[in-house]
Chains A and B, each alone.
Chain A
Amino acid sequence: MNRVVSNFDRGVLDKIHTSSLELLGETGIRFPNREALELFKHHGFKTEGEMVFFQEPDIEKALETVPEKFELHARNKVNSFVIGDDSYRMAPGYGPPFIIEPSGEMRQAVLEDTNKFCKLVQTSKALDFNSSIVAQPNDVPARTAHLDMLLSTMLLTDKPLMGSTSSRQCAIESLEMAEIIWGNTEKPVMLNLVDSLSPLQYAEEMIDALLVYAKARQPLLIHSSCSLGSSGPITIAGSLVISNACTLAGICLTQLVNPGTPIVYGLGGSPTDMRTGGYINASPEDAKHTAIVTALGRYYHIPCRSQGALTESFSLDYQAGMESSMMLSTAALSGVHVSLHACGTYGSMLAMSFEKFLADEDLCCAIKALIKPIEFSEDAFAMDLIKKLGTSGTYLLESHTATRCRSEFFIPDLNIRTIHSKWLKMDPGPMDQRASQLLEKRLSEYKKPDMDPSIENDLIKYLEMKKK
């Protein structure tokens, strides 16, 4: 199956775009950040207090300089990849502060959890890069926690990574650590997530981080979403306009700072639970946003991002599987380029779970197998073999089968493919038990990737210096 890219009516996309421009021009976006406001004024934008107003040519000019694709470099070149084209790249959970154990107990995450997740990312067949903030540790000082997490990411994995956007200082320090590995470079080595604050504004700290990374020409994932019915309109159409306006304004700022800065376009939206006021993170409405964000990304010729295997559940139950699968398969089949939270999250991204992480890896691999183009080579048609065997049906004895038997099909690590009598005896055990066993195996087999000892030493020294 080739990837099915969402085919929304061009007129609908035009309407979302023009309605967004209307908001940008008439209502404006709030940028509570002196440097950003000065920059907007310098470029002739109309401002009123902290509100900035955008005209169509401003947005068009910004969109013209955003690259259609870019390469995200890993410290191990084998793991570098392009974001854009027909690629689909996945990263694990981003930011949950809690861990949910198989018993259901929820506890605060610690740095050792971050380290374990890094080891899983490094050995993952499914994940392409590390979110660098898989679980927010509570046993290290908050002021330097981003450095602890980044050090773990840099030492324990050699896949591409993400930087911290919590503040200007966090962004600067993330870049300084990257510089220890890559030197002073403008090649993209760190993807950085900037979220807007619905409705129609950005937080000061996020703008600070955006400015730092854009100056260094490091790629930015500009993402806007609202909670439908509370921080945005209850309708998907209204949500799309309000969030698209915010994302376009953020993109515009990046291109004013440094034209050509690589961007990943992000837009989401989740319903407000009308029974509680809470945020629902894995719903058909969520998935619909994922489908249309890919259409908008392609409309603007910018790589796009979606959420990943999200669930509201707190255990490895039917709900977790159903919701995670709906979210991730919609993303894959719609043509998303990047999914964060592809592995491990429970309860609206509030917590990570090692067992869910491993179950999600199976899901990610299944989905990557699903979108892998079907091979139509001469060898794949196997015409000679079919004619040779006729009605005998002994394909298992043929070398054509043997040479492809390990690569042709998706083979799950955890899903049950057994016989009823074994399943009745609970052999191989329930999903979370199987996942716990696999976790032990994965961690015991993990090997730290090579790193120049002087670089490793410099990174550790940098952290020690910053912690003083």
Chain B
Amino acid sequence: MAITDILNAVVSLKKEDVVENVIAEINKGTQVDDILNKGLIEAMDVVGARFSSGEVFVPEMLMAAKAMQAGLEVLKPYLSSDTAAQKGTVIIGTVKGDLHDIGKNLVAMMVEGAGFNIIDLGVDVDTDKFVTEAQIHNADVVCLSALLTTTMPAMARTVEAIKEAGLKVKTIIGGAPVTDAYARQIGADGFSDNAPGAVALIRKLVAVAA
């Protein structure tokens, strides 16, 4: 048994094997941070990279994320309470007027898989709620999603409201009609057109802020 077995089980989408291997490593006395970082999180990095290269398909990535989460559930009681918080807290939601959540859910799972504390506000989220939740959770990054061109202005209003509230939280946007140029136009801190890209962007923004 080794941590690489956990990694391989996640990459092979074998949830039961992930759980079994995590339990075995805990019982062996392996450092829980190593199980998390070198087993579960690194596995999702491998899956994310393979997704970006077109080798892994979306449903397979989601299955990997579920397998990873199953391992994480086993590990949670052993983790210090601030392990996830050390990585950072990320708020995510689809903006007001928009009910589309496939892309948003994908990003949320990948961000959680990367070890961040994720707070998913769902769809049709009011500007005020983004601001309030970011304050309450002392968030590092707020992710805004939209599919409809008609709801893109809600992204601009949310970014503006966060700035007006004086929060230091970073904002990133994504969704089919959204572009890098639009992100710059509304003063967001970043844009990604895919889930692994969003994870990389969040890591970069959190590292810079730290």
The interface of chain A, by Cβ under 8 A from chain B, is 97-98, 136, 142, 166, 197, 203, 227, 229-231, 272-279, 348, 350
Contact = CB atoms under 8 A, between A and B. Distances in A.
Given A231-B102, A276-B194, A278-B176, A142 B57 contact: no
Interface in B53-106: 54, 57-59, 99, 102-103, 106
A136 B57 contact: no
Contact of A272 (B58, B99, B177, B195): B58
Contacts of A97: 149, 177
B176 A274 contact: no
Contacts of A142: 150, 153
Contacts of B102: 227, 230-231, 272, 277
Contact of A274 (B58, B99, B103, B149): B58
B58 A203 contact: no
Nearest to B195: A277
A136 B106 CA distance: 29
A322 to B, nearest CB: 22
A227 B102 CA distance: 11
Contacts of A350: 176-177
B91 to A, nearest CB: 21
A199 to B, nearest CB: 12
B186 to A, nearest CB: 14
B103 to A, nearest CB: 6
Interface in B32-59: 54, 57-59
A9 B102 CA distance: 35
Nearest to B54: A275
Nearest to A201: B99
A348 B102 CA distance: 17
Nearest to B182: A108
Given A97-B149, A350-B176, A197 B99 contact: yes
A414 B195 CA distance: 41
B153 A277 contact: no
A203 B103 CA distance: 19
B54 A277 contact: no
Contact of B149 (A136, A227, A277, A278): A136
A179 B149 CA distance: 30
A197 B100 CA distance: 10
Nearest to A278: B176
Interface residues of B, number: 15
A101 to B, nearest CB: 15
Contacts of B149: 97, 136
Contact of A229 (B59, B99, B195): B59
A67 to B, nearest CB: 33
A240 to B, nearest CB: 21
Contacts of B54: 275
Nearest to B102: A230
Contacts of B57: 274-275
B185 to A, nearest CB: 11
21 contacts: A97-B149, A97-B177, A136-B149, A142-B153, A166-B150, A227-B102, A229-B59, A231-B102, A272-B102, A273-B58, A274-B57, A274-B59, A275-B58, A276-B58, A276-B194, A277-B58, A277-B102, A277-B106, A277-B195, A278-B176, A348-B176
B7 to A, nearest CB: 23
A227 B103 CA distance: 13
Contacts of A229: 59
Contacts of B99: 197, 203
Nearest to B148: A97
Contacts of B176: 278-279, 348, 350
Contact of B103 (A136, A166, A275, A277): A277
B184 to A, nearest CB: 15
Nearest to B62: A277
Question: Which 9 A-B residue pairs are closest in the complex by CB-CB distance?
Answer: A274-B57, A97-B149, A277-B58, A230-B102, A275-B54, A274-B58, A277-B106, A275-B57, A277-B102
A433 B153 CA distance: 35
A463 to B, nearest CB: 20
Contacts of B195: 277
Nearest to B149: A97
Given A275-B58, A348-B176, 7 more contacts: A136-B149, A229-B59, A272-B102, A273-B58, A277-B58, A278-B176, A350-B177
Contacts of B150: 142, 166
A193 B103 CA distance: 26
Contacts of A275: 54, 57-58
A196 to B, nearest CB: 12
Interface string B4-48: 000000000000000000000000000000000000000000000
Nearest to A138: B149
Contacts of B177: 97-98, 350
B89 to A, nearest CB: 25
Nearest to B100: A231
A348 B57 CA distance: 20
A348 B149 CA distance: 14
A129 to B, nearest CB: 24
B124 to A, nearest CB: 10
A117 B48 CA distance: 43
A135 to B, nearest CB: 11
Nearest to B97: A205
A348 B147 CA distance: 13
Contacts of B153: 142
Contacts of A272: 58, 102
A279 B149 CA distance: 15
B48 to A, nearest CB: 13
Interface string B179-198: 00000000000000011000
A203 B100 CA distance: 12
Nearest to B60: A274
Nearest to B51: A275
A262 to B, nearest CB: 28
A229 B176 CA distance: 18
Which of A197, A275, A277, A348 has the most chain B CB atoms closer than 10 A to its own CB?
Answer: A277
